[in-house]
Amino acid sequence: MDGEDGLIVVKETGKASGKGKGKGKGKGKSKGSASSTKTDSRSSNSTVHQKVKKRKRSSSPSDGGKSSKRAKRAQRASSSSSSSSSSSSSPSLSSPPSSASASASASGYGSSSGYGSSSDYDSSAGSGSSSSGAGDRVTVYGDSAPHPISYFEDLEGEVKPPILANIAAAKYSRPTLIQRSVIPVMLAGRDVLACAPTGSGKTAAFCIPVIAKLLSNAAQRRSKRIKKAVADGKTSGKTCYPMALVVAPTRELTTQIASEFVKLAGRKRLRVTEGHKLRLSGPQPVAAVDVVVSTPRRGAVFLSHPNVAISHLLWFVLDEVDRLFDEGFISQIDDIFTLLKQHERAEAEASGEHNASLQLSRAFFSATVPSHVEELSGAVLVNEVRVVVGARMQANSSVSQELIFVGREEGKLLALRQLVARGVLPPVLIFVQSKDRAKELYQEMVFDDIKVDVIHSDQTTPQREEIVRDFRRGKIWFLITTELMGRGMDFAGVAVVVNYDFPSSTVEYIHRVGRTGRAGRTGRAVTFFTEVDKPMLRPIATIVRAAGGDVPDWMVELARPRRDLRRSLKKVPRRRDAISSVPTAALQDKDAALVSAARKAGRVKKRRAERKAKRKANRK
């Protein structure tokens, strides 16, 4: 479907005993998903971190993992051959919609789909933020998923008028494809796993329903009771009763998300803060807040504070869930899940509150959802709805992508300067693989008479915030960064992304490229690669070709990268020569000359000391 028309494929899971949450009552899940009841899910002793360990052990069985691979292939084959009718298992996000379901959805929704009949939905009313083709396909998995919206005005009655006014003031004229499907699901209180391309409006997709839930009449009545209890000293010393926790991998991203909450809700109506701004040391009272946007470690510290009551939490959101489920964050995320499992609804049950509309819900968002992330999400989410816009591992199709061979490391600096000389349109984001290389590239570019700066983790938070502000205001044209800025950051109008260092994975590439071409704009992504990058070239070239890039056949015909290579690069980036205008050979000669001179100076110094000692001995 071309232009603004979105193709939505709906797949329902089969029925099973037990009651679910929201509108999906009486539905079951497959083995890889969470159980159909919240009680069963919460009583499970296996945490997400344990699931990761189990997955690592099961990935190397005695048969080399062949049985699990055959099972996955069989599952994909059975999913692709089935239609959109009910099945006995919850399909994978990676399973492509069948031709039968695609044709059915193109003509309209059937009454058994959970969306209603075809007359209830105008497929041409969507946003034009996604380009035509695969990016327009919206696939929805789940039991009785709520009907998508076409306009923000469709939310009247569920969302209060001041929030709709703030949406209009933010110049959000029409919901994007991900917003059309996710907002109604979250308003119904259902758990969500959402995958959509970068720049498709995922932040607003969870901010709007979270704000609506927190400002609902039931939530506000409970909030007033809590405030009165705190004032009367009847809360056992607890001073903070948060209603929503949003976790993101970087502090810069948490700042951006908090700003979106404030913009859509209004500071006077909702108390929004960032985790690093809260004073959590010692037993001092914690400031009363409604929404906390935090990094994983700070979020775990916040929830474990003795003055914080988490029993009244309504929403728990993970942004960039694929990054948060990596080894670097998984233990911290697991701490949060453990705290939620231990204390969820404890104080509410003790006080006799059993309002179904005030139960904790979860929402996970990302631009890429690998299979292991989907598996781990299924262990946590309950009766969830899964929404996929476009393909599961796909770069933004509104970005013109190109691969440039530069030979060796020295060729990168020359190619970058050629781009600048040809008048590349700023603002430009330049990605390198480490902070040391970011500093080296900055030292080379700062003397080229261009407005360039660098941002990395060694800088203080105020320094990084000032650099981000200057980049957004146009004071900085070229910003050199590491993966710190590769996740979720929304810079309006970024024209070009340059991958100076080749990405270590397809996920990293997709997120880097996603910093441009956002909110319906077009962008350009340039990726340099050398001879040593060729083993990892094929998967990136495949993504570029799928997005319409000009890729020669030999690139996609290269051998697949070995699994051990992919894993090693994920942990430790490839070792590269220093970034310098001086050729490597000349640097090596210079270093050798310096070493030789130092050794010679050492020998001279030693002989002088020996002669001095000899003269001193002769005097005696």
With beta carbons less than 8 A apart as the criterion, state whether 491 and 447 touch: no
Pick the range with the lowest mean pLDDT from 222-226, 324-328, 463-467, 496-500. Answer: 222-226
User: Which region among 21-25, 228-232, 271-275, 373-377 has the lowest average model confidence (pLDDT)?
Assistant: 21-25
Between 5-19, 265-279, 318-332, the lowest mean confidence (pLDDT) is in 5-19
Kindly tell me if the per-residue pLDDT of 561 is higher than 90.
no
Read off the pLDDT of residues 72-108 as tens digits, 9 standing for 90 and up.
Answer: 444 544 444 443 333 334 445 544 443 333 333 333 3
For the cut 60, the answer to whether the pLDDT of residue 273 exceeds it is yes
Phi, psi of 503 (to 5 degrees): -60, 150
CA R_g for the chain: 27
Q: Give Cα 321 distance to the centre of its chain.
A: 5
Work out the angle at residue 42's Cα, subtended by the Cα atoms of residues 40 and 47, and round it to the nearest 5 degrees.
115
Compute CA distances 521 → 108, 132, 506, whole Å: 30, 14, 22
- Interval 204-218 mean pLDDT: 91
Helices of type H across 3-149: 38-42, 48-58, 66-81, 99-107
317 exposure class (CB count in 10 Å sphere: 0-12, 13-18, 19+):
buried
Exposed e or buried b for every residue in 11-45, given b needs 16+ CB within 10 A? bbbeeeeeebbbbbeebbbbebbbbbbbeebbeee
Torsion-angle region of 342 (φ positive above 0: left; ψ -120 to 50: alpha; else: beta):
alpha
Q: Which of 23-37, 238-252, 273-287, 466-480 has the lowest mean pLDDT?
A: 23-37
| Superfamily grouping for domain 399-571 | P-loop containing nucleotide triphosphate hydrolases (3.40.50.300)
Per-residue pLDDT averaged across 51-61, rounded? 48
3-12, 135-144, 218-227, 247-256: least confidently modelled range: 3-12
**Residue among 75, 133, 72 at smallest CA distance from 394:** 133
Q: What is the dihedral of CA 417, 422, 423, 429, to 10 degrees?
A: -40
Task: Supply the mean pLDDT for the chain.
Answer: 76
Angstrom distances, CA of residue 272 to CA of 252, 275, 296, 489:
16, 10, 17, 19
* Contact residues for 423 (Cβ-Cβ < 8 A; gap 6+): none
Q: Which of 51-65, 145-159, 273-287 is most confident?
A: 145-159
Distance in angstroms (rounded) separating the CA atoms of residues 527 and 502: 7
**Rounded to an integer, what distance in angstroms lies between the CA atom of residue 605 and that of residue 586?**
28
Strand partners, 385: 192
Match 């077009």 to its residue by tokens.
Answer: 522
Domains of the chain, by residue range, sit at 399-571, 582-620
At which residue do the structure tokens 């981000």 appear?
Answer: 468
383-408 pLDDT, tens digit each: 999 999 987 777 777 889 999 999 98
Which residue has better confidence, 11 or 468? 468
Per-residue confidence (pLDDT) for residue 15, from 0 to 100: 37
Quick one: what percent of the chain has pLDDT higher than 70?
Answer: 71
Contacts of 303 (CB under 8 A, 6+ apart): 245, 310, 336, 339, 340
CA distances from 172 to 77, 151, 256, 263, 398 (A): 40, 10, 17, 12, 19
Residue 302 to residue 246: CA distance in whole angstroms: 12
Q: Summarize pLDDT for 164-196 with one digit per residue, the tens.
A: 999 999 989 899 999 999 999 999 999 999 999
Q: Which two tokens stand for residue 373?
A: 């992330």
The predicted structure's pLDDT at residue 1: 41
In whole angstroms, give the CA distance from residue 603 to residue 595: 12
What share of the chain has pLDDT > 90, as a percent?
Answer: 31
Beta bridge pairs of residue 455: 481
Per-residue exposure over 507-524, b if at least 16 CB sit within 10 Å of its own CB, e if not: bbbbbbbbbbbbeeeebb
H-assigned helices in 288-344? 296-304, 321-324, 327-343
Q: What is the per-residue pLDDT across 574-618, written as a single tens digit (0 to 9) for each?
A: 888 888 876 555 555 656 677 777 778 888 888 888 888 888 888
- 58 DSSP 8-state letter: H
Predicted confidence band of residue 494 (pLDDT cuts 50, 70, 90): confident
Tokens read off for 353 = 């509150």
Cα separation of 195 and 178, whole Å? Answer: 8
108: left (phi over 0), alpha (psi -120 to 50) or beta: left
Residue 219 has pLDDT above 90, yes or no: no
Q: Which residue has the tokens 């942990």?
A: 571
Neighbouring residues of 291: CB distance < 8 A, sequence distance ≥ 6: 210, 214, 242, 243, 244, 245, 246, 258, 261, 270, 271, 272, 273
- What six digits make up the tokens of 74? 């069989």
Angle 169-174-144 from CA coordinates, rounded to 5°:
120
Q: What are the tens digits of pLDDT across the range 118-172?
A: 223 333 333 333 333 444 688 998 888 999 999 999 999 899 998 999 999 998 9
User: What's the confidence (pLDDT) of residue 43?
Assistant: 42
Alpha helices in 128-250 (DSSP H): 161-169, 177-187, 202-214, 217-231
Q: Two tokens at 54? A: 């189990």
Q: What is the pLDDT of residue 590?
A: 58
pLDDT score at 502: 94
CB 14 within 8 A of CB 88: yes
In this prediction, residue 36 carries a pLDDT of 37
Among 107-116, 348-357, 551-560, where is mean pLDDT lowest?
107-116
Q: What is the greatest pairwise CA distance in the chain?
A: 113
Taking the alpha carbons at both ends of the chain, their separation in whole angstroms is 102
- Of 256, 238, 216, nearest to 484 by C-alpha is 256
Separation of alpha carbons 245 and 298, rounded Å: 11
Task: Give the model's confidence band at 362: pLDDT under 50 very low, under 70 low, under 90 confident, else very high.
Answer: very high
C-alpha 400/C-alpha 520 separation (Å) is: 13
44-61 average pLDDT score: 50
The Cα 196–Cα 368 span in angstroms is 7
Residue 7's pLDDT is: 55
Whether 323 has a pLDDT exceeding 50, the answer reads yes
d(CA 27, CA 515): 39
pTM attached to this predicted model: 0.69
Place of tokens 């990676």: 94
